[in-house]
Amino acid sequence: MKSILSTLTLTLTLLPPSLGYAQQSSELIKTPHDKKIASLSWNEFNRQFQCPESLPSDKERELNINDTNIWFATNSGQPLTLNNLISFRMKMLTEHNCTVTLNNIAKQNTTSANNTRQPGRYLCKTTNGAKTFDKENTGNCISMPLEKDWKNIVFSNIVVVDVLPSKMVREGDNIKIWSQFYLAKNYAYTNPQFNYDRLKQISRFLCKSKQVQLIQGTYMLGEKVMYDRLSNEMITEEIEPGTINETIYNYACK
């Protein structure tokens, strides 16, 4: 039986965040059945509500949750938030004595509380299948520990960047430094064409002119090498404000 929280969360993630309450309500109504549920009075909706454990399949249980979401969104007058949806759903389960479902939810909550979140670096999958970086193991994650002698300088949910201070070389006013980029989402390289989610490269930062020369790099997808950019392909770029290159520049040229 699927988690009530994961299903409600998925419903909300499908709604554009900029929509107002009325627009969010209409986004949930997609079929004639949805329109019928939205038109029910409180007494009608309450009478037709069934406990999830009395339904024969996950599909019908998901429909049951969807019906509750639609009725709440179109009739409650409350903001369509995850907390409000869960509160209303729990109210219905409690008033209809859905003891099996309530016990399952209690067990899920206990299990979640007992799963100590280990601090570290993780690549995790969200409920909609997207990948994100996290400093805690939230459940569906793989560990990506910091390599020996490397230092993390950027950590966000979409990109992680490490540098190797011990191999940093000063050349007058310039600095050569190794860096590694980890991407939560595959990125497309155009010429030659391939996808990658990791880049290990050596760059020269021109501290006075605030430029960077990309000397060479290895592009990988998982553990597979997709492309080696050699030193004869070196390019020079201006360092734009607010970019990761500026973060590395500030670290290397300090």
Q: Tens-of-pLDDT digits for all 254 residues of the chain?
A: 444 444 444 444 334 333 344 445 566 788 899 899 999 999 999 999 999 999 999 889 888 888 988 898 888 888 777 778 888 888 999 999 999 888 887 776 655 544 444 568 999 988 788 899 999 887 788 998 999 999 999 999 999 999 999 999 999 999 999 999 999 988 888 777 889 999 999 999 999 999 999 999 999 998 899 999 888 888 899 999 889 999 999 999 98
Q: Count of CB atoms within 10 A of residue 141's CB? A: 20
Q: What is the pLDDT at residue 111?
A: 52
Alpha carbons 227 and 123: distance in angstroms, whole number: 23
Query: If you count them, how many residues does the chain have?
Result: 254
What topology is assigned to 146-252 in CATH? Answer: Lipocalin (2.40.128)
Task: Report pTM.
Answer: 0.53
Delimiting residues of CATH 2.40.128.710 domain(s) in the chain: 146-252
Sign of CA pseudo-dihedral 118, 141, 245, 169: positive
Q: Look up residue 115 and give its amino acid.
A: N
